[in-house]
Amino acid sequence: MARSEPDEVSAPGEMRVFWFLLLTMVVVVTAVTLAVVGGGGSAVLQDVPPERFTDPLPAARPVGRADIEALRLPMALRGYRMVDVDEALSRLGAELAERDARIAELESTLAGDRAAAVTTGTDLFKQPGDRPEAEPADRADGRDETEEDGR
């Protein structure tokens, strides 16, 4: 038995369907490519400006714990931008140095006041409304407070 080979490989209708599908696929791929690249007059994927650090730390008052917790640095390609981190850390370092200097100043003032109180005998912890105790120099004239009131 001899094999018979067909004279026609495919029907003419099948070739039309193939060319139609090929043309449709080329049109769809071209449309998607133009939409992504932005060749259709409006840029679909616009260039986004990089995030810039806006210093959220208060300028008019000292930095507090809540300010540090709220601090968020913008992300860069491989982490954080070194310039932004350096700026925030230098600001915090300056605030801490200023705070330490103020604490040292207050501690030295307090130590000086304590030393003066020890030498003069005054009470540092006396409340502002307390009456001062009568000093011996106040009673040198021989009068008592009750005599001044006329009692």
pTM, rounded to two decimals: 0.43
At 125-142, the pLDDT tens digits run 676 666 656 555 555 555
Going by C-alpha positions, the residue among 84, 83, 64 that lies closest to residue 72 is: 84
pLDDT at res. 88: 86
How far apart are the C-alpha atoms of 127 and 118, rounded to whole Å? 18
* pLDDT (average), residues 71-96: 84
Q: Which residue has the tokens 């769809």?
A: 28
| Per-residue pLDDT at 147 exceeds 60 | no
Q: What is the tens place of the pLDDT at every residue in 12-67?
A: 788 889 999 999 999 999 988 887 776 555 555 566 666 666 777 787 888 888 88
Confidence of residue 115 (pLDDT cuts 50, 70, 90): confident
DSSP state of 74: P
CA-closest candidate to residue 103, choices 84, 4, 144, 95: 95
- Model confidence at 9, pLDDT cuts 50, 70, 90, reads low
